[in-house]
Amino acid sequence: MAALPFELAPAIAALPFVSFLIALLVGAFAPRLLPKGGAIPGILATAGSLVLSVWAAVAVWNHPDGMYHDSITWVAGVGDAAFDLQFGILLDPLSTMMLVIVSLVAVLVHVFSLGYMNDEGETGLPRYYAGLGLFTASMLSFVFASNLLMAFMFFELVGLCSWLLIGFWFREPGPPSAAKKAFLVTRFGDYFFLVGVVGVFATFGTTAFVGSESFPILADQVLAGEGASVTTFLGLDPQAWFSVLGLLILGGVIGKSAQFPLHTWLPDAMEGPTPVSALIHAATMVAAGVYLVARIYGFYALLPQVMALIALVGGFTALFAATMGVVKREIKQVLAYSTISQYGYMMLGLGAGGYVAATFHLMTHAFFKALLFLGAGSVIIAMHHNENMWDMGGLKEKMPVTYYAFLSGSLALAGIVPFSGFWSKDEVLYEALVHGLESPILLAAYAMGLLAVFFTGFYTFRMVFLTFHGKPRTDTARDPHAVGWNVKVPLVVLGTLAAVAGLVNMVPVAEVTGIHLEFLHDWLDAGPEALTAHHYADLIPYASGEIGSPLLTVLLSAGVSLGLALSGAGAAWLLYDVPEPIRHTDRLGRVKTVLFNNYYQDEFQVWLANGVTLPLARVADKFDQGVIDGVVNGVSSVSLFSGGRIKRIQTGVVSNYAFLLTMGLVVLLVFIGVTGGWF
Partner 1 sequence: MAYQLPGWAALAPTLTFVAAALVLFLIDSIDPDSENRALLAGTATVGSLVAAGFAAWFLIAGTGEEPFTLYADSLVVDSMSLFFAFVFASVTAMVVVASYDYMRDHSYQGEYYALVMLAATGMTLMPAANSLAVVFISLELASLPSYALVAILKKNRGSVEAGLKYFLIGALSSSILAYGISLVYGVSGTLLLPEIASAVEIEGLTGVLGIGVLMILGGFAFKTASVPFHFWAPEAYEGAPAPISAFLSSASKAAGFAVAFRVFTVAFPVEAYVATIDWVLAVQILAVVTMTLGNFAAATQDTVKRMLAYSSVGHAGYALIALASLTGTGSDQFVLGGGMAHLLVYGFMNTGAFLFVALAEYWSVGRTFEDYNGLAKQAPFACAAMTLFMFNLAGLPVGAGFMSKYFLFAGAVGAGFWWLTAVGAINSALSLYYYSRVVKAMWIEEPTQEFAIESKPVGLYAAIAAAAVVTVLLLPGFGPVWAFAQDAAAALV
- Three-state DSSP class for residue 386: coil
Closer to partner 1 at the Cβ: 613 or 639? 639
Residue 243 and residue 309: Cα distance in Å, rounded?
11
562-591 residues in contact with partner 1 (CB under 8 A) are: none
Q: For partner 1, which stretch binds (CB under 8 A), given 72-80, 184-192, 200-208, 623-631?
A: 72-80
Figure out which of the listed residues 78, 225, 549, 580 binds partner 1, where binding follows CB under 8 A: 78
Distances (CA, A) of 402 to 81, 399, 472, 608: 60, 6, 16, 42
Closer to partner 1 at the Cβ: 30 or 649? 649
Given a contact cutoff of 8 angstroms between Cβ atoms, the answer to whether 38 and 130 are in contact is yes
Closer to partner 1 at the Cβ: 613 or 662? 662
What DSSP line would sit under 115-130, residue for residue?
IIIITTT-S-HHHHHH
Nearest distance in Å: CB 648, partner 1: 10
Nearest distance in Å: CB 84, partner 1: 12
72 binds partner 1 (CB under 8 A): no
Nearest distance in Å: CB 83, partner 1: 15
Nearest distance in Å: CB 659, partner 1: 10
Residue 518's φ and ψ, nearest 5 degrees, are -90, 70
Figure out which of the listed residues 45, 54, 79, 466 binds partner 1, where binding follows CB under 8 A: 79
CA-nearest of 57, 45, 50, 6 to 134 is 45
255-284 residues in contact with partner 1 (CB under 8 A) are: none
Figure out which of the listed residues 28, 76, 512, 619 binds partner 1, where binding follows CB under 8 A: 76
Figure out which of the listed residues 64, 235, 440, 652 binds partner 1, where binding follows CB under 8 A: 652
The H-assigned helical ranges of 224-351 are 238-256, 265-268, 274-278, 285-295, 297-300, 304-325, 331-351
Closer to partner 1 at the Cβ: 123 or 662? 662
Strand partners, 68: 91
Figure out which of the listed residues 33, 397, 589, 679 binds partner 1, where binding follows CB under 8 A: 679
Q: Which residues contact 71 (CB under 8 A, 6 or more apart)?
A: 86, 87, 88, 89, 146, 147, 208
Closer to partner 1 at the Cβ: 587 or 647? 647
Angle, in degrees to the nearest 10, between helices 39-62 and 9-29: 170
Residue 344 and residue 668: Cα distance in Å, rounded?
71
What DSSP line would sit under 34-86, residue for residue?
SGGGGHHHHHHHHHHHHHHHHHHHHHHHHSSSS-EEEEEEEE---STT---EE
Distances (CA, A) of 53 to 9, 99, 369: 8, 6, 21
Closer to partner 1 at the Cβ: 503 or 669? 669
Closer to partner 1 at the Cβ: 552 or 632? 632
Nearest distance in Å: CB 673, partner 1: 6
656-675 residues in contact with partner 1 (CB under 8 A) are: 657-658, 660-665, 668-669, 671-673, 675
Closer to partner 1 at the Cβ: 87 or 112? 87
Closer to partner 1 at the Cβ: 82 or 574? 82
Closer to partner 1 at the Cβ: 33 or 78? 78
Residue 615: asked if its preceding bond is cis (omega within 30°), the reply is no
Residue 579: asked if its preceding bond is cis (omega within 30°), the reply is no
Size of the site for partner 1 (CB under 8 A): 32
Given a contact cutoff of 8 angstroms between Cβ atoms, the answer to whether 19 and 78 are in contact is no
Q: For partner 1, which stretch binds (CB under 8 A), given 14-22, 346-354, 481-489, 651-659?
A: 651-659
Nearest distance in Å: CB 662, partner 1: 8
Dihedral in degrees, nearest 10, Cα atoms 398, 499, 442, 537: -160
Closer to partner 1 at the Cβ: 614 or 667? 667
Q: Which residues contact 612 (CB under 8 A, 6 or more apart)?
A: none
Nearest distance in Å: CB 47, partner 1: 36
Closer to partner 1 at the Cβ: 78 or 482? 78
Lay out the site mask for partner 1 across 355-394 (x = CB under 8 A, - = otherwise): ----------------------------------------
Lay out the site mask for partner 1 across 626-645 (x = CB under 8 A, - = otherwise): ----------x--xx-xxx-
What DSSP line would sit under 458-484, residue for residue?
HHHHHHHHHHHSS---SHHHHSPPP--
Closer to partner 1 at the Cβ: 617 or 640? 640
Nearest distance in Å: CB 85, partner 1: 13
34-63 residues in contact with partner 1 (CB under 8 A) are: none
Figure out which of the listed residues 229, 514, 516, 678 binds partner 1, where binding follows CB under 8 A: 678
Nearest distance in Å: CB 18, partner 1: 25
The H-assigned helical ranges of 383-474 are 395-398, 400-414, 420-436, 440-468
Residue 370 and residue 113: Cα distance in Å, rounded?
13
CA-nearest of 372, 357, 348 to 460 is 372
Nearest distance in Å: CB 638, partner 1: 9
Residues making contact with partner 1 (CB under 8 A): 76, 78-79, 636, 639-640, 642-644, 646-647, 650, 652, 654, 657-658, 660-665, 668-669, 671-673, 675-679
